Amino acid sequence: MSIFNLISLRSIMVFDFHHLKKANINYLSHGIRVIKVSITLIGLGIIGIIHAFFPFTFVETVSNGIKKIANDISKF
């Protein structure tokens, strides 16, 4: 295993058991919020694949969607 793999694993395997308390949000609200963002990202990924094959479709949909998500997350 190379050093790059170890660095990647370390960045993925980070736990913060006080995350909800720091964010001042309960478990259910946090879960719903994360699921909504995740579903949106999956949808944008599918739209991105469609755009890859048909570049005349969804011209700005993915970039606008990602910007909206980034904006929304910055307010959490």
* pLDDT tens digits for range 28-68: 999 999 999 999 999 999 999 999 999 999 999 999 999 99
Range of the domain at 21: 3-74
Distance CA 62, CA 44 (A): 6
Rg of the chain in Å (alpha carbons): 17
Residue 18 tokens, joined: 């006080």
pTM more than 0.85: no
Residue 15 has pLDDT above 90, yes or no: no
Amino acid at 44: L
Overall domain count for the chain:
1
